[in-house]
Amino acid sequence: MKQFFESISKIKYEGPSSTNPFSFKYYNPDEMINGKTMKEHLRFALTYWHTLCGTGGDPFGDGTMQRPWFDMADPMEQAKAKVDACFELMEKLDIDYFTFHDRDVSPEGKTLAETNAMLDEVVDYIEKRMKETGKKLLWGTACLFKHPRFMHGAATSCEADVFAYAAAQVKKAMDVTKRLGGENYVFWGGREGYETLLNTDMKLEEENFARFLKMAADYKKKIAFTGELLIEPKPKEPTKHQYDTDAATVLGFLRKYGLEKEFKLNIEANHATLAGHTFQHEIHLARINGALGSIDANIGDPNLGWDTDQFPTNIYDTTLVMYEVIKNGGLHKGGLNFDAKPRRASFEPEDIFLSYIAGMDTFAKGFKVALKLIEDGVLEKFVEERYSSYKQGIGKEIVSGNVDFEALEKYALENDQIKVKSGRQEMLESILNQYILSK
């Protein structure tokens, strides 16, 4: 098999005191933790689009990324080279899973039939490489936002022909995902949103979006796809207002259309922060609603208002994310998908490795800290005590649904000298620091 990163050998765990940048300091894939290896707990995934297709281009300048396969003239030769590069990277980084959009892996032809035939040819090759290596597909998805036909949206386009085309594309992408044993299928809203209400029938667009998702859920049953269907919330970019703004909006939408049993959520850090939430908030909300499907592990820049898709290197974030994941009983079919790209100036092939190492180490360390926090019950004990008034007396009556406004008025008139306790936020933040710095 052609090697693209010959100068780099398999990345090994060397521990926190290693000075070798091409080593893991915290990610020790084979370390056993509570009966599973660290690798099995973290379920890292490589993203095809950023890692193999991203050029580093931005609105002000051309691509910068040095990727040997970019020089190949024949698009199908390039597509197969990307497959080889993907499997070489997964092998060398000790990553078991990958994720892709249909159009990441093969080019668009002149007709849909031609496009599908090219996709099949590359998927044959991916399937062969998966069998040889044991690598797995975390999720597949369809790119319903790149081609100009989707300028008004896909399932929410004003053009019915575009709705039909998008349906055909998702059907094919679901077939391919099933064929490759994908554990999930993701719907990110792409251009499902609007720029101005002056030209938008929002009611019809939202209803059509629900119709589209219902057809996808029906098709999943028809082909007996056993993976989870996931929706990935995002509030803006590319459109000014995306319909899948955040976890709460998506959950409300699914419930309105009776789809809440069919879909879970894929939560992305940078999308959470663009929506004005923390990453932990979105994951927590999904978790307490039984809807945490998977995680797009990246980070934004707090000073920028767009989706910078940086590799996650903030230990506070990863600790709190892993705290939620452990409380969720693990990631189940989901994973930690690095929907992240090296910066435009980190253009050398080596930077791919260094970026993944940074993200994987930060999550591995965060996982360890979160385990210790939970093992010691630090936050749990505090939260339990904080809400203890609902365990007895009037609180217990409220929770059991035994009292109404009149009963509560009677109680309040007799008990109006109330003593409240401190929330101790700063103390808890300091304890969190202590765990991150010393555990």
Specify the residue, 154 or 162, whose C-beta has the smaller distance to ligand XUL.
154
Tell me the three state secondary structure of residue 292. Answer: strand
Residue with Cβ nearer ligand XUL (141 or 157): 141
Give dist(CA 156, CA 191) in Å, integer.
8
**Residue at shortest CB range from ligand XUL:** 188
| Interaction between residue 307 and ligand XUL (CB under 6 A) | yes
List the x/- string, 324-353, binding to Co ion by CB under 5 A: ---------------x--------------
> Is the four-CA dihedral 323, 324, 330, 332 of positive or negative sign?
negative
159: tokens are 């053009």
Dig out the tokens for 196 from the structure.
């101005």
Q: Which two tokens stand for residue 205?
A: 């667009």
The binder of ligand XUL chosen from 39, 67, 234, 341 (CB under 6 A): 234
Asked if residue 339 binds ligand XUL (CB under 6 A), the reply is: yes
In 3D space, the residue among 74, 76, 90 whose CA is nearest the CA of residue 124 turns out to be: 76
Please tell me whether residue 244 binds ligand XUL under the rule CB under 6 A: no
Closer residue to Co ion, CB minimum distance, 80 or 103: 103
Which one of 246, 262, 282, 296 is in contact with Co ion (CB under 5 A)? Answer: 296
Phi, psi of 241 (to 5 degrees): -130, 110
Of 278 and 389, nearer to Co ion (C-beta) is 278
Contact indicator for 185, 139 with CB cutoff of 8 Å: yes
**Single residue of 28, 106, 115, 141 touching ligand XUL by CB under 6 A:** 141
- Rank residues 96 and 339 by Cβ distance to Co ion and give the closer one: 339
Looking at 175, 268, 317, 324, which residue binds Co ion (CB under 5 A)? 268
Helix, strand, coil percentages for the chain (3-state, nearest 5) = 50, 15, 40
Residues 6 or more apart whose CB falls under 8 angstroms from that of 312 comprise 269, 297, 298, 299, 318, 338, 340, 359, 362, 363
* Binding footprint of Co ion, residue count (CB under 5 A): 3
For residue 311, the 8-state DSSP code is: P
Taking CB under 6 A as the criterion, the residue among 262, 268, 282, 317 binding ligand XUL is 268
Binding residues for Co ion (CB under 5 A): 268, 296, 339
Binding residues for ligand XUL (CB under 6 A): 101, 141, 186, 188, 232, 234, 268, 296, 307, 339
